[in-house]
Amino acid sequence: MAMTLEQAQRVGYTCLKALLRFAFMVANNLVAIPSYVLYLIVLQPLRILDSKSFWYIEGVLFKWLLAMVASWGWWAGYTVVEWGDDVKAVSEDEAMVLVNHQATGDVCTLMMCLQDKGTVVRQMMWLMDHIFKYTNFGIVSLIHGDFFIRQGKAHRDQQLVLLKDHLEKYYRSRNRKWIVLFPEGGFLRKRRETSQAFAKKNNLPFLKHVTLPRLGATQVILKTLVAPQENGTLSGGDAVRKESKSKGLQWVIDTTIAYPKAEPIDIQTWILGYRQPTVTHVHYRIFPVKDVPAEPEALTNWLYQRFIEKEDLLTHFYETGAFPPPQGQTKAISREMTLSNLWLVAIQSFAFLSGGMWYCLFQYLYHCLF
């Protein structure tokens, strides 16, 4: 069937827009990432004299970099609506964030929806697959202190030891608050069949929208970051905000990402913007860490239960277009997450001005020396 003139124009416009967006993304990376690195090199004396101030500045720059990534999706119309608990209430406390994993766009979605959560973005640590170390953003994550984990049985035990050492060395020394991980250990489409076979063999629920999570990293984080007197303590009732003043990890934030029609956004779509504007839905549920069991078997069951609940949440969402209301309520309330276009333009401008400044400085030094 021949393409009409109108269809050809639409395809041409989409391709041109994608090309321009890609060119902007490349230019953005070429100025923003080197500028981040160079600013921190210049500030190394401050790191020696006042480490706390150095990591504060690094965190601000890191948040701006993540906001630039968020802006690529925001300006393409990829927005976020939030459901469930209000995580802003615990944004100043230490928390572990458990997220289901469907595509590379999940990370971009989190970069966007956490921008308006106070100091969270600049004080968070990410656990991600080691392959991301070799991407354009890898140098930023290395400097920031994120942890790159290698998947596979052959590496599992060693990686958990390295994770424990990493947390002890960097988490509190850099004043980190939130740690984000994807317990499924990979994308849904890659792990679903294996997970379902494991569930059948072990008489566990059959899951379609998530996979059964892995225990290792979650257990290491809890053992390393939770205050000893709290880990493993069971108690009922709702936790109040004032209880979180003691040191250590205080909350587990169970985060569920849902895409309309179960069609996740990948990083290519986020960059090129060829997909029609889409609303991604993010559901939060906050658990006090004192309600999380410490023993491996009990913790495994607790973690499995969280992902069984995610399955129910996603099933309800795909059937109705909304998440179910909290227990005891008749209606679920959603919150539209917004970003300031003026702020996004300001940080993008700062990045390009910084790139120009560094270029002129190096040109001047080159002419002075040669």
Predicted pLDDT of residue 232? 45
Residue 369 lies in a domain: no
Residue 65 lies in a domain: no
Q: Is the pLDDT of residue 87 over 80?
A: yes
What percent of the chain lies above the pLDDT cut of 90?
A: 76
Band (90; pLDDT cuts 50, 70, 90): very high
d(CA 247, CA 241): 14
What percent of the chain lies above the pLDDT cut of 70?
A: 94
Residue 370 lies in a domain: no
Q: pLDDT (tens digit, 9 = 90+) per residue, 145-178?
A: 999 988 777 778 899 999 999 999 999 999 999 9
pTM of the full structure? 0.89
Predicted pLDDT of residue 233? 44
Q: pLDDT (tens digit, 9 = 90+) per residue, 51-84?
A: 999 999 999 999 999 999 999 999 999 999 999 9
Residue 344 lies in a domain: no
Q: Is the pLDDT of residue 242 over 90?
A: no
Q: pLDDT (tens digit, 9 = 90+) per residue, 287-325?
A: 999 999 989 999 999 999 999 999 999 999 999 999 999
Q: Exposed, middle or buried, 281 (CB in 10 Å: 0-12/13-18/19+)?
A: buried
Host domain of residue 289: 78-227+247-339
Best CA proximity match to 90, nearest among 61, 59, 67, 119: 119
Q: 238-250 in b/e burial notation, b at 16+ Cβ within 10 A? A: ebeeeebeeebbb
Predicted pLDDT of residue 327? 81
- What CA–CA distances, in Å, run from 201 to 140, 153, 204, 214, 284? 42, 19, 8, 16, 31
Residue 148 lies in a domain: yes
Query: What's the domain count of the chain?
Result: 1
Residue 363 lies in a domain: no
Residue 276 lies in a domain: yes
Q: Is the pLDDT of residue 236 over 60?
A: no
Predicted pLDDT of residue 361? 93
Predicted pLDDT of residue 140? 94
Band (30; pLDDT cuts 50, 70, 90): very high
Predicted pLDDT of residue 137? 87
Predicted pLDDT of residue 234? 37
**Tokens representing residue 131 in the block:** 């392959």
In eight-state DSSP terms, residue 98 is E
| The pairing of beta strand 178-181 with beta strand 124-129 | parallel
Band (92; pLDDT cuts 50, 70, 90): very high
The set of long-range contacts for 240-243, using a CB threshold of 8 Å and a minimum separation of 24, is 241/89, 241/90, 243/288
* CATH number where 258 lies: 3.40.1130
Residue 262 lies in a domain: yes
Q: Exposed, middle or buried, 300 (CB in 10 Å: 0-12/13-18/19+)?
A: middle
